[in-house]
Amino acid sequence: MSGKADFSDLLPRVISAIVMLALGAGSLWVGGDVFALVLIIAAGLMGWEMSRMHCVNHLVPMVFGLLIAAVTLCFMFLPLPWVVATAVIAAGAALVGHQKRPVAVLLMGIVIVLACTAFQVLRVGNAGFVMTLWLVLVVVATDIGGYFAGKLIGGPKIWARISPKKTWSGTLGGWVLAALVGLAFYANGVGSVQIVVFSVLVSMASQAADMAESAIKRRAGVKDSSNLIPGHGGLLDRFDGWLGAGLLVAVLRLVGAV
């Protein structure tokens, strides 16, 4: 057991989380173009954050963020020529416009676009609202379980050099709460018992993406991707796990597993 748990950051985290929950839940419920618009805006802002960590020029991140939003929009709604054209322009901006680790910027841009598109496809497909809600709640449960287990139990760090606050107890706490979410959906007639296993896999993907973003920030020499969200940092700080979860579910759906 660790010393006295520090919950000094809990209030701003909760307030910000309530605002994000209201926006996210409302757009998820409405679906369609509204949900897609929220994802496109989020993609652009995450692209801007990734760019500003690797570029001293203030204009390049804004341009790159707009390009990531444009590529995401094209992936969702426009034919292949538009997708190719915007993707090539964004790739060029990543490789030419960034002094530090342009390949990392490009790869993260690809992840952002694909993950946000995967959420939109999941929402409008046969799975619809229920399966998208499952994915969202699993990621939220992973964060909540990890936060409280890590604060209350503490213990050995996973990778202290990259993410000094991440503990094995928090990791396991995230898996357990994610599994309970899957169990609750199964108990209410959603999917087979495999949804519990998939919930843990999504939790793992979410945590892996979180660690990857921490490594990116560490190498870029920044604490947070931005200060857009009080108590949470930037959108990448808050939604990095969602990117990993979105990519995993896209693969699972591609092979017909979910």
Q: Report domain extents, the chain.
A: 10-254
5, 38 Cβ separation under 8 angstroms: no
Q: Identify the residue with better confidence: 153 or 200.
A: 200
Lowest mean pLDDT across 5-14, 191-200, 218-227: 5-14
| Cα gap 111→10, rounded to integer Å | 29
**Residue 4 scores a pLDDT above 80:** no
pLDDT of residue 257: 64
| DSSP conformation letters of 81-124 | HHHHHHHHHHHHHHHHH-SS-HHHHHHHHHHHHHHHHHHHHHHH
pLDDT tens track for 122-149: 888 666 888 889 998 999 899 888 888 8
| Cα gap 81→53, rounded to integer Å | 30
Most confident of 69-73, 113-117, 133-137, 173-177: 69-73
Closest listed residue to residue 235, CA positions, set 38, 33, 31, 58: 38
Closest listed residue to residue 60, CA positions, set 71, 47, 72, 69: 47
Report residue 221 as tokens: 């020499």
Mean pLDDT over 41-51 rounds to 94
Q: Identify the residue with better confidence: 253 or 121.
A: 121
Q: Which residue is it, tokens 């995967």?
A: 118
| 199-to-86, 146, 185 alpha-carbon distances in Å | 34, 15, 10
Strand partners, 157: 167
| Cα gap 51→236, rounded to integer Å | 11
Mean pLDDT over 67-92 rounds to 94
pTM value is: 0.85
Mean pLDDT over 189-213 rounds to 89
Kindly indicate the confidence band of residue 77, based on its pLDDT and cuts at 50, 70 and 90. Answer: very high
